[in-house]
Amino acid sequence: MYDHSFNQITLMRMLRTSDFRENPKLYVESEKLVTLDEAISSAKTVFQGGNPLINFEQGGKRIYYANKLAHELVLRKVCSNIKRLVRIQQPNRESIVETLTHLVSEGVPYRLFRLDIKSFYESFATDEVSKTVGALSGISPLTHRLVDELLCHFMASGGTGVPRGLALSATLADVMMMSFDREVKRMQGVYFYARYVDDIVIITNGSEKEPTFLKKIQSLLPAGLLLHNNKRDIITVPDVVTPAKTGTVVNDLFIFSYLGYKITVTEPVKIRDLKPKSHHRAVRVGIADSKIKKIKFRILRSLTAFLKDGDFYLLTHRIKYLTSNFSVRDINRDKNKRAGIYYSYPQITEAPDNGLDELDDFLRRAILNGHGRPFSRISAALSSKQKRTLLTHSFRKGHTQRFFVYFHPKLIKNIQMCWENG
């Protein structure tokens, strides 16, 4: 039976392998017990020792984390207790995109809404968060008090909503959104709904009136949350599928971005002996423009860092890191997690506009082009041999061949250093 209490055994289960790596003293039993006792005291006194959070700014947002391990253990236990009660299933990005691309290919009428919630974590009504957690069936009084006190400290330090950056906040946000998720799925005419944090996509049969539908969606959101007016796509697709003759130019019906992908839908090419209405629309999936821009930024940051430090070894590995795939060890789960150009975008289809050729072209121009700043300085700083070495790396090859390399964790840290906030 699951134990919701905060004691030595339950808090010890909150310890992770990474905690021991970051705090080697935990390997000493007496030191570990000191940390656990401190966590027990923090829980029982409900953080009366002071604010358990500290923060820093990143990308214009305040990011919060626990100021010491004892408080982090308590927050993990609170998060675990709530998750055990609500059993929230985290959405899978790739499954959402795979299902979405299948649905938009259907030769039926539909309307697609891609919506975004403005300042997601910061906009929740904090008092409503506390009330909602307190109303959960089976919630322990101490768990509720710890959430309440955490939010009080957070607000006292100038925060609004829930503290961005905490795993607990992601769980609290999901608890607050449960009713919204459920009600939208039940709305008449809705046959697909997905939400990934603050990014929402809905597909309807197209019979609803857009203003009325959006007003209803807004009314279902928890208090404080607002749909972002400047970050939305509303696309109406007619029921007439018009296959194009073989060899003719096929025009794009619509393009939208979701979860890092750019999805392009076109009319299909006519298949002999297949009725027009039996055709499925063609779908191309590429890397979203915003993500391409981010990768280009990192290429430039890598090259300009080389202009400053002259470290060609590090430059080579930065380009290799961007264009290839690698394993990252999840020491807490004791398994490897695959990452890189393919594993970040496994859903992209084979097409000239999927972003890979654009990135390769940009990399080539950045290395070879001697015209304009900063390209001219970069080109002049690289020898012919160095340029040939860098040009052996390719985004397309890394994705199509799933090219794998090994990076030591310390090297990865050095690689990423020049990409801060990018």
Question: Would the pLDDT of 10 be above 70?
Answer: yes
Question: Which of 269, 287, 305 lies at the terminal end of a domain, its last residue?
Answer: 287
Query: What is the Cα–Cα distance from 77 to 288, expressed in whole angstroms?
Result: 37
Non-local (6+) Cβ contacts of 232 within 8 A are 113, 114, 115, 116
Question: Would the pLDDT of 106 be above 90?
Answer: no
Are both 41 and 144 inside the same structural domain? yes
| Mean pLDDT value across the chain | 90
Query: What is the Cα–Cα distance from 286 to 292, expressed in whole angstroms?
Result: 10
Which of 246, 251, 291, 289 is closest to 269 using CA atoms? Answer: 246
Question: Would the pLDDT of 185 be above 70?
Answer: yes
For the record, the structure tokens of 180 come out as 């919204």
Are both 350 and 376 inside the same structural domain? yes
Are both 276 and 302 inside the same structural domain? no
Q: What is the pLDDT of residue 1?
A: 80
Beta bridge partners of 244: 269
Q: For residue range 252-292, list pLDDT tens digits in order.
A: 889 999 999 999 998 877 776 666 566 788 899 999 999 99
Tally of domains within the chain: 3
Are both 280 and 331 inside the same structural domain? no
Q: How far is CA 274 from CA 84, 116, 186, 308, in A?
A: 51, 39, 35, 61
Q: What is the domain extent for residue 309?
A: 290-419
Question: Would the pLDDT of 398 be above 90?
Answer: yes
Q: For residue range 197-222, list pLDDT tens digits in order.
A: 999 999 999 999 999 999 999 999 99
Within a domain: 212: no
Within a domain: 3: no
Within a domain: 105: no
Q: For residue range 155-180, list pLDDT tens digits in order.
A: 998 999 999 999 999 999 999 999 99
Are both 277 and 336 inside the same structural domain? no
Are both 277 and 312 inside the same structural domain? no
Within a domain: 377: yes
Are both 271 and 302 inside the same structural domain? no
Q: What is the pLDDT of residue 337?
A: 81
Question: Which of 130, 157, 184 lies at the terminal end of a domain, its last residue?
Answer: 157
Q: What is the pLDDT of residue 50?
A: 85
Q: Are strands 252-258 and 261-266 parallel, antiparallel or unpaired?
A: antiparallel
Are both 281 and 299 inside the same structural domain? no
Within a domain: 121: no
Are both 58 and 144 inside the same structural domain? yes
Within a domain: 103: no
Question: Would the pLDDT of 126 be above 90?
Answer: yes
Q: What is the pLDDT of residue 168?
A: 96
Are both 329 and 253 inside the same structural domain? no
Are both 305 and 262 inside the same structural domain? no
Question: Would the pLDDT of 329 be above 80?
Answer: no
Q: What is the pTM of this model?
A: 0.88
Q: What are the strands, taking DSSP E only, across 302-421?
A: 325-330, 335-340
Are both 283 and 337 inside the same structural domain? no
More confident residue, 119 or 279: 119
